[in-house]
Amino acid sequence: MTKNIMIVGVGGQGSLLASKLLGHLLLSEGYDVKVSEVHGMSQRGGSVVTYVRFGEKVYSPVIDRGQADFIVSFEKLEAARYLEYLKEDGRIVVNTQEIDPMPVITGAMQYPENLVEKMEALGAKVDAMDCLSLAEQAGSAKAVNIVLMGRLSRYFDEIPLEKWQQAIQECVPAKFLELNQKAFLLGRG
Amino acid sequence: MKRLMLGNQAFARGLYEAGCSFVSSYPGTPSTEVTEEAAKYDEIYCEWAPNEKVAMEAAFGASLARKRSFCGMKHVGLNVAADPLFTCSYTGVNAGMIICVADDPGMHSSQNEQDSRHYAVAAKVPMLEPADSAEACEFVKKAYEISEEFDTPVIIKMCTRVAHSQSVVEERERILPEPRPYEKNIAKYVMMPGNAIRRHPFVEERTRKLAAYAETSDLNRVEMGDPRIGIITSSTSYQYVKEVFGDSACILKLGMIHPLPEKLILDFAEKVDKLVIVEELDPVIETHCRKLGLKVTGKDVLPLEGEFSQNLIAEKLGVELPASRKLEETLPGRPPVMCAGCPHRGLFYTLAKNKCTVLGDIGCYTLGAVAPLNAMEMTLCMGASISAIHGFNKALGEESEGRTVAVIGDSTFMHSGMTGLANIAYNQSNSTVIILDNSITGMTGHQQNPTTGYNIKGDPAGKIDLEALCRAMGFDRVRVVDPYDLDQCDKVLREELEAKAPSVIISRRPCALLKYVKHEKPLKVDCEKCVGCKSCMRLGCPAISVKDGKAVIDTTLCVGCGVCRQLCRFGALQSQ
């Protein structure tokens, strides 16, 4: 059975490291894995999506509406934007940080309120946490991606903690390793 | 060893394993990483060429000189390189030569959605189309064999989802091919009419032989299932089809897209009740099948536009979709924006303030067209800003001359801007051209170019002096401004627009995302002084917003460029 994880956020937030970590980990666990990324213009502060799929045999590199077991969102509005990709019993893991998009910055629109509650009202399981504070606590606001991975790891009973930590060690530059290991554990809670 | 690799990375691995030793490319999403990854192998000479035409001609030269060679580009890049492509089809090659063209269905980072398969048909060269990373690596090796056996350049067509998806690849050893001596052969390599006319029958005969090869090659394969539906497909569409139908449909997966295996297609059609063609963009396979007299379902139900996906195919072919839900309210969109500290912002602010007519070009600065700057009214293709301003000003004369500018990046200027500038210098339109020199090729992710002074490996290289170049072309008015200095930009822009002579303004400051660029501390807002006038908001900087009537700086984004400070009449925005 193929499992689907969508990573969504704002270009520049570090979603490529999160997908690299997941890909690395899942391959080492013996799964067939596909990861689909976005490069180019959308990376400039736009809405970005990365798809991670794993299982015995994976065909499509993308995840479609109603198929995501997990949506890991770096930003609240982005979680809401991709809600329709969530499977009926899927789960959203979301950083509650709000980053204003240009229509909000220019005053053309308001940043929507109570997004977590609205998603829950539609029956979505939402795990919301302030990952930015935890990342800063770990030593850098840039570690939001690893905090989120820590949170996600709670839902993978079959993969022991040491495997996650080993994957971080293999994907992160040595000088940031300690910071990221700390961020991961803070996220895992 | 098994590794997860991007399609482009696997392509580069294939180049390495196949003994390729010469690579020349111009960056373009989604093709760029093939060349960037190839450059990590010391055994392969790699370079960024000024444009795709130069890259292809360089690769052709290396092929003549006995080296397996490669050039890579995005779909629109092949338009630039079409000239050498059509004629090196006639000459053929010496050592193997591969061209990568990467299409961008869905236009994630492109100005059109052209289907490059037409080039293979038109130029009469074989085209392979991998469906994942493992195939990208494998097909490169096959393509070199085909290139040398059939004496032809070979195109490998990628698309965004194959190029930018990671899947598992088994790494193998590099095997160097037998050296092929270069022999002077005027009849083969000098394409003047008397020789070319004798090469054309060779090209037609080669296509017939390649079509015969396609019938039995393992590049194409049949997967039999329930014979009630038979699907002919290729590339990433194959993956979507498998996702929907699994082993329950018959599939003819084509890895070689030109020439097509007619007998294989006819045999397959015979075995199934209903024949469906699943291909993104244009009906290339479908049209061929119709020519063979087959009754098919294809573009009558599937779209000509955009990317496919598993749900799209399921929906169009009558398979049930999974349930989903969405919020009812309209959410604010999040289009890409110029980064905080982007040197282009100050210049575009100046152009908007002076109500200039701006003819634009291809790069990050195309984002000058979006709100709130809205400071661009044309973007066509690489270099068109300069060529078009000449036509625009010649047509409108004084009506446009004092208020119209062309804007073009440093890399785009090297790619196709110089010839347009030569036209202005030669035919003398009173045009003002602004070169946005951010010392890098930005949009594609920071590639060096002939103006940066470094090569693809980051080692010192030749450096073209833009001021000297423009002066040598006959421009007496060449000015340099710092786009972080709004007063200077405004003054110089007005002077050059007023001048009754062609001029070049170079707006020079390195991209704020470059690693060597030192950032200042984020600005802070003095809330006592801020009156909430929103003057700073006219810049469209993602680091500035207004909350409860006061400006707020996002300190995780602000790089302290200070451009907004120059707009605040109340001194509320302060450097730390």
pLDDT exceeds cutoff 80 at A40: no
pLDDT at A1 (0 to 100): 85
> To the nearest whole angstrom, how far is the Cα of B215 from the nearest Cα of chain A?
25
For chain B, how many helices (H) and strands (E)? 21, 22
DSSP conformation class of B417: I
C-alpha torsion angle, residues B405, B408, B409, B414 (rounded to 10): -130
Contact B327/A106, CB-based, under 8 Å?
Answer: no
In single-letter form, the type of residue at position B232 comes to I
Which residues in chain A are closer than 8 Å to B33, comparing Cβ atoms? Answer: 39
For residue B30, is the peptide bond before it cis, meaning its omega torsion is within 30 degrees of 0? Answer: yes
- Are B177 and B120 in contact, with CB atoms under 8 Å apart? no
- Are A149 and A5 in contact, with CB atoms under 8 Å apart? no
Contact B166/A37, CB-based, under 8 Å?
Answer: yes
- H-assigned helices in B129-260: 133-150, 160-163, 186-189, 193-216, 235-245
Structure-token pair, residue B78:
């092949």
Contact B332/A112, CB-based, under 8 Å?
Answer: yes
- Are B489 and B436 in contact, with CB atoms under 8 Å apart? no
Structure-token pair, residue B541:
């900087």
Contacts of A124 (CB under 8 A, 6+ apart): A83, A86, A90, A91, A92, B325
Res. A45 pLDDT band, cuts 50 70 90: confident
Looking at residues B268-290, what average pLDDT do you find?
98
For residue B483, is the peptide bond before it cis, meaning its omega torsion is within 30 degrees of 0? Answer: no
- Among B240, B336, B546, select the one facing A44 at the smallest CB separation: B336
- Among A27, A77, A122, select the one facing B325 at the smallest CB separation: A122
| Run of H or E residues at B398 | helix B398-401
Which residues in chain A are closer than 8 Å to B325, comparing Cβ atoms? Answer: 83-84, 86, 122-124
Contact B161/A62, CB-based, under 8 Å?
Answer: yes
pLDDT at A43 (0 to 100): 67
pLDDT at A13 (0 to 100): 86
pLDDT at B416 (0 to 100): 98
pLDDT at A168 (0 to 100): 97
Contact A102/B334, CB-based, under 8 Å?
Answer: yes
Res. B475 pLDDT band, cuts 50 70 90: very high
Contact B332/A109, CB-based, under 8 Å?
Answer: yes
Contact B132/A61, CB-based, under 8 Å?
Answer: yes
- H-assigned helices in B92-132: 117-123
pLDDT exceeds cutoff 70 at B122: yes
Q: What CA–CA distances, in Å, run from B513 to B202, B355, B524?
A: 51, 29, 21
Contact B333/A38, CB-based, under 8 Å?
Answer: no
Give the span between the Cα atoms of B522 and B515, in whole angstroms: 17
- Are B533 and B456 in contact, with CB atoms under 8 Å apart? no
C-alpha torsion angle, residues B91, B150, B136, B79 (rounded to 10): 30
DSSP B330-370: PPPP----PPTT-THHHHHHHHHHTT-EEE--SSGGGGGGS
Q: B236-265 pLDDT, tens per residue?
A: 999 999 999 999 999 999 999 999 999 999
Contact A59/B243, CB-based, under 8 Å?
Answer: yes
In single-letter form, the type of residue at position B166 comes to Q
pLDDT at B317 (0 to 100): 97
Contacts of A46 (CB under 8 A, 6+ apart): A10, A11, B334, B335, B336, B337
C-alpha torsion angle, residues B475, B476, B477, B478 (rounded to 10): 70
Find residues 159-178 of chain A whose CB sits inside 8 Å of chain B.
none
**To the nearest whole number, what is the mean pLDDT of chain B?**
97
Structure-token pair, residue A155:
């839902």
Give the span between the Cα atoms of A108 and A121, in whole angstroms: 27
Looking at residues B196-200, what average pLDDT do you find?
98
- H-assigned helices in chain A: 15-28, 76-81, 102-105, 115-121, 131-138, 144-153, 161-171, 177-188
Q: A115-152 pLDDT, tens per residue?
A: 999 999 999 999 999 999 999 999 999 999 999 999 99
pLDDT at A174 (0 to 100): 95
- Among A36, A47, A61, select the one facing B334 at the smallest CB separation: A47
- Among A11, A66, A115, select the one facing B321 at the smallest CB separation: A66
pLDDT exceeds cutoff 80 at B306: yes
Q: B490-536 pLDDT, tens per residue?
A: 999 999 999 999 999 999 999 999 999 999 999 999 999 999 999 99
pTM: 0.97
pLDDT at B144 (0 to 100): 98
User: Which residue, among B296, B252, B311, has the nearest Cα to B131 in the 3D structure?
Assistant: B252
pLDDT exceeds cutoff 70 at A41: no
A111 vs B: CB within 8 A: yes
Of B569 and B179, more confident: B569
Q: Any idea which of A167-176, B75-84, B448-457, B545-554 has the lowest mean pLDDT?
A: B545-554
Contacts of B82 (CB under 8 A, 6+ apart): B119, B123
* CA B178 to chain CA centroid, nearest Å: 34
| Run of H or E residues at A49 | strand A47-55
- Are B60 and B23 in contact, with CB atoms under 8 Å apart? no
Res. B225 pLDDT band, cuts 50 70 90: very high
A45 vs B: CB within 8 A: yes
Q: Which residues pair with B323 in a beta bridge?
A: none
Q: Which residue in chain B is spatially nearest to A64 when comparing CA positions?
A: B311
Contact B165/A61, CB-based, under 8 Å?
Answer: yes
Which residues in chain A are closer than 8 Å to B443, comparing Cβ atoms? Answer: 40-41, 44
CB atoms within 10 A of CB A108: 13
Q: Is B274 exposed, middle or buried (0-12, 13-18, 19+ CB in 10 A)?
A: middle
Res. B199 pLDDT band, cuts 50 70 90: very high
Residue pointed to by tokens 């050296």: B179
Contacts of B74 (CB under 8 A, 6+ apart): B28, B29, B30, B31, B101, B102, B103, B104, B110
3-state secondary structure B224-273: CCCCCEEEEEEHHHHHHHHHHHCCCCEEEEECEEECCCHHHHHHHHHHCC
How many residue contacts between A and B have a Cβ separation below 8 Å? 184
Longest dimension (CA), chain B: 82
Give me the percent of chain B exceeding a pLDDT of 90. Answer: 96
pLDDT exceeds cutoff 80 at A73: yes
B177 vs A: CB within 8 A: no
Residue from B166, B234, B338, B446 whose CB has the most chain A CBs within 10 Å, to mutate: B166
| Run of H or E residues at B412 | helix B410-412
pLDDT at B1 (0 to 100): 81
- Among B322, B331, B540, select the one facing A87 at the smallest CB separation: B322
Provide the angle, in degrees to the nearest 10, between the axes of the packed helices B344-353 and B486-498.
50
Looking at residues B358-383, what average pLDDT do you find?
95
Parallel, antiparallel or unpaired: strands B432-437 and B477-481? unpaired
B372 vs A: CB within 8 A: yes
In single-letter form, the type of residue at position B334 comes to R
Contacts of B45 (CB under 8 A, 6+ apart): B21, B22, B23
Res. A42 pLDDT band, cuts 50 70 90: low
